[in-house]
Amino acid sequence: MLELLHSIIPNVMGKLPTFYEAIIDTLIMAFWSGSISFLLGMIFGVTITVTRPSGILEHKGVFQVLDKVINFFRSIPFIILLTGVMPVSRLIMGTAIGVEGAIVPLVFGTVPFFARQIESALAEIDRGLVEAALSMGKSPMEIIFRVYLRESIAGIARSTTITAISLLGLTAMAGAVGAGGLGDYAIRYGHDRNQTDVTYVTILVLVLMVSIIQIIGNQIVKKNTH
């Protein structure tokens, strides 16, 4: 079996430790930036939903500021955002390169997207449920947790799946500026040294990761769809 792999993907087999390290770096970037983005995106998505006109905590100022900030960062191509937030990365992480340096731009690139996804998921809630909760004297926080979030589990799971897959693509793109991970591995060896087997194996690993994320997301959606 090993002889067969050496004949099919010689360049990958010749640098297996580097390949494994690239996979681990990608998972680390995806996990930490994904966790932070999930928390912040959820907060921003809920906030923009409840503070919009006719929302349960209507506040024009908060809504307008948050809406404009989200639109601003969503309009910046990620490859440009990578270099644009380097000073922030150095300030927070102490470095702007490598896995640690990539987490900050990944968060900046993912949070606005996820916040909009959450906003869309919460918008699907029947307005009648919210009005019924208000008529029962429920507080805004109770409505947020017991109506908006509880009734949107399937939508939130769907949004999280989409965002996680998108984030995985961003981690690969971050490799173009030395962030490490599979993107850097594919560029450094597959592209720069014209080792096509490295490129194809990287693609297969990323496809496998995306498939796993999609399967998990689909299962959660299925279990929480009324």
The gap from C-alpha 160 to its chain's centroid, in whole angstroms, comes to: 7
Whether 6 maps to a domain, the answer reads no
Neighbours of 2 (CB within 10 A): 7
Question: What CATH number is associated with residue 166?
Answer: 1.10.3720.10
Neighbours of 57 (CB within 10 A): 16
Whether 5 maps to a domain, the answer reads no
pLDDT in tens, the chain (226 residues): 778 877 888 888 888 999 999 999 999 999 999 999 999 999 999 999 999 998 899 999 999 999 999 999 999 998 888 888 888 988 888 887 888 888 999 999 999 999 999 999 999 888 888 889 888 888 989 999 999 999 899 999 999 999 999 999 999 888 777 778 898 899 888 888 888 999 999 999 999 999 999 999 999 999 987 6
Range of the domain at 96: 17-223
Q: Per the structure, how many domains does the chain have?
A: 1
Q: What is the pTM of this model?
A: 0.91
Contacts of 212 (CB under 8 A, 6+ apart): none
Whether 106 maps to a domain, the answer reads yes
Contacts of 25 (CB under 8 A, 6+ apart): 99, 180, 181, 182, 184
Whether 183 maps to a domain, the answer reads yes
Whether 11 maps to a domain, the answer reads no
**Residues constituting the chain:** 226
Helix (H, G, I), strand (E, B) or coil at 21: helix
Contacts of 177 (CB under 8 A, 6+ apart): 79, 82, 83, 97
Whether 9 maps to a domain, the answer reads no
Max distance between CA atoms of the chain, in angstroms, equals 71
Q: What is the DSSP letter of 226?
A: -
CA pair distance 143, 149, nearest whole angstrom: 9
Q: Where is 49: in which H helix or E strand?
A: helix 16-50
Whether 10 maps to a domain, the answer reads no
Whether 178 maps to a domain, the answer reads yes
